[in-house]
Structure 1
C-alpha cells in the first residue's frame, strides 16, 4: 500500500494510469449519465405536489452531492501536499477546483430554476443556498489564489490551507436544513431511516448521482493530465511522448 502511495507521486506513472482509466470510464460515465438523466426526465411520474418541475432534481441533486464530495477530494489532496510535499497532490488539488466550481454553479443554477415555480422566487438567502454559494466562493478562491503566486510551491501551500479551512463549510451545508428554519426541503435520500422518495423516482436519481461521480473523476483525471504535461514539458518522457504522437 505504501509503495502504491509513492507511485502516485510519479508523474509518468500517474499520467499513464489516468489515461488507461479514462479510456473505459469516460464512455461508461456518459452512458450512465444519459440513462439516469433521461430516465428521470422522460419516464418517471410527475410529483403529486410539484408536478413536472421536480424533474430538475436529476441534475440538481447529483451536481450538489458531487460538488460537496469534490471539495473533500481537493482538501484531502491539500492535506497530503502539506504533510508529504507530494507534487502530484498539488496537481490533484488544482485540477479538482474548476470541476467542483462548475458543479456548484450547476447546483445553484438548477436550484434557482427549481425554486421559481416552487417558492415563487429565483433566490432566497436560505441557509442551504447561502452555504452552497460560500462553497462556490471557496472553489473560486483556491483557483484565484493559485494564479496569484508566481512561486507555485507557495501557491500550493496557500491553496492547501484554504482548502482545509473551508471543510468547515461542508457539514454546515449538510445539516443546514436541520439546524435552521429553511425553505429548502430536507434530504430525500437517507442512509439512516427510510428515504422519503418513491423507488420509481429514487433509482434514476441514484444512477444520475453515480454518473456524476464518474464524470467528476473523468474531468479530474483529464485536468490532472493536462497539468502534468504543463509541469513536465521539459522532461525527457514528455518530449518522447510528444514525438510519438507526431
Structure 2
C-alpha cells in the first residue's frame, strides 16, 4: 500500500491526532491534556449515558514548538443517536484531519477489569476504519491513577481480551492521568506517535483506506444478505417438503382407513 510523503517532527504540516472511544472515559479530557491542560474540549467524565461531544471538533495548538491538531469525536455506543448516525459523525473526522490522521488514539479507561464493551469499541473502530487502521493507532489509557500498586504491564497481561486488543495495535499504548498537569506524559505520547509514524514510512491514514474499509463492509453486508437469502430458501424448501410429506402421510392414512372399511364391508357381505 502506498503512503503519502514522509512526515517528520517540526514540519509545517501539523501532527494530526483523532480521539476515539466510549463516552465518559476521559476522551475529551485527554484531548485537553494533550493541548496543554486547556479546557478546549467540553469534558464531563461522569457523563456515561450520553456523549458531551456530539460532533467532531478540531483544535490546533503549538505544543513544544510544533503544530498539533487534535480532533475529538462523539462517543461510540452513545444512546442519544442511532448506531448509523454515530458512525457517520465519527467518519466526519477524516475531513477535519485532511489529508488524513497520523494517529488514532483509542481511549480506554483503566478500571478493575477490561469490559466486553471495551472490546466492542476496538472491534467497531476497526470495522469503521478497517484493519489497516490498527497500524495508525495506539491505545490511550486514562485514569492512570487507578493502577495504584499495579503496573500497566500487570494490568495488560492479566486480561486475555486486553492482550488481543493490545496486539491489534502492534502492542502500542500510553497511559494518561488527566488529573495531573505533567507535560512529560504528553511528551512521551508524542514520541510514541512519532515512532509509529516513522514505522509507517512517514505516512498517515488516508481517505482511500477509509473507502477500502467501506467497500469491505459493503461486500461483507452483501455476503451476509446472500447467505441469509440462501438459508431462507433452504428453510422454505425444507418446509415445503415437510408439508408434502405430511400431506402424503395423511393421504395414506385416509386410503388405509378407507381400505380397511372396504374390507369390513366385504366380510359382512
Q: Which has the higher strand share?
A: 2
Q: Which has the higher helix share?
A: 1
Q: Could you say which structure has the larger radius of gyration?
A: 2
* Length-normalised TM-score, structure 2: 0.23
* Length-normalised TM-score, structure 1: 0.25
Greater relative contact order, per chain length (Cα 8 Å cut-off, separation 6+): 1
